[in-house]
A and B are shown apart, each in its own frame.
Chain A
């Protein structure tokens, strides 16, 4: 399994990549594969305040509905509006074009406690049993 090393991961399979104080968020290839064909991504609106550990959106697939959790506190500054018409981008390119939101974080340091690529790979392997 290929996992990019330039970002951090939650156990619930969201990824977070910081550029300055703006954090881009999406879900991993593992999560996209597990959810199967994604049909809808319910994203917050720009300007919405979200906090670390809170649920701020949902991903709907043919198989299941899954919540999106934030690992940072801040304000949504951009959402990937392409997902409205092309939710399959999350399946096809979860680490790239399938990104979901950009959050202006009050403390990017909050990401430090997350898993890096190596730890996340082990986490996925453990889930596969």
Chain B
């Protein structure tokens, strides 16, 4: 049985095309992927991300548990600060990439929909013998991302709390007609914006604020689906679980070493990653730009000198740059920016080169 988002009726009313995603029925597109993508880059879009897992970790050992399970050092995290991190197995394989945030007296963990049950079980397993209570709040809340250059000013104008002065990776909480909500200055599109968590009963109030009382959604603020979210995050060089990130790869190879604090603390997977680091990484995640209009899709082989040297994890036709872009793992010796590589498309090949990630960086 597929889980329905609290916004399901809205998606249906907008004529969205729905797909199964991580056990949820979610909108993949409303009007068209390219249009939704460009609208987000130029104005702003609302993404239903209610499928993401929202877990609350409480108790005197909550921080100790998260310090053990997360690759990033959480020491000194301030109240209402959020941090992106990975949760890894003992061998360094990535179980999930998550955002952890310190609220007043508890931690919130936002994980991927498809990993929610796995992460709940993993945290509970490592919570044994600790004073920790874990509550899965996913099904009683909704989560919306408002992303794009107009997003901050717009959200500031509709919520009673001050968003414009909120720093990146910080959040604020507020109450409205008895409903508690949280606004995070985070996102997954490469644009500025917020992600908002509200009780699911609050959706009826929020949708008219975003899209107008008739919910026509044809103004500056429009809904966008998971397909546009995917092309946006790819342009922004952000890895996606199940593609760039999975249990058979470690965060260092995935180019995520910036949030793996091997020298600051001990954590689950640290020993394995220290060994990997000391031995030298065999492969690295790179960005690729290809000539021509062909798309390098997940699983396509990367070739150099007639030899297979890597594999594509995500690829698309970039709506912003009108170029074929991809991410994939290649042998470390071939991961330098500028290295010429070929992608095997089956009967044809596409010539390309390694480029710096991200492909897209917003100007402000």
Contact = CB atoms under 8 A, between A and B. Distances in A.
A and B interact: yes
Interface of A: 36-37, 39-40, 42, 60, 62-65, 87-88, 91
B29 A40 contact: no
B265 to A, nearest CB: 41
Contact of B32 (A37, A39, A42, A65): A37
A62 B34 contact: yes
Given A62-B227, A62-B317, A37 B33 contact: yes
Contacts, number: 34
A36 B231 CA distance: 13
Contact of B295 (A36, A39, A88, A91): A39
Contacts of A62: 33-34, 227, 231, 295, 316-317
Contacts of B317: 39-40, 60, 62
A60 B346 CA distance: 13
Q: Which 7 A-B pairs have the closest CB atoms?
A: A40-B293, A39-B317, A37-B34, A37-B33, A62-B33, A36-B33, A60-B295
Contacts of A64: 297
18 contacts: A36-B32, A37-B34, A39-B295, A39-B317, A40-B293, A40-B294, A40-B295, A40-B317, A60-B294, A60-B295, A62-B34, A62-B227, A62-B295, A62-B316, A62-B317, A65-B295, A65-B297, A87-B293
Interface of B: 29, 32-34, 227, 231, 293-295, 297, 316-317
A60 B227 contact: no
A22 B162 CA distance: 66
A35 to B, nearest CB: 11
A118 B231 CA distance: 37
Nearest to B297: A65
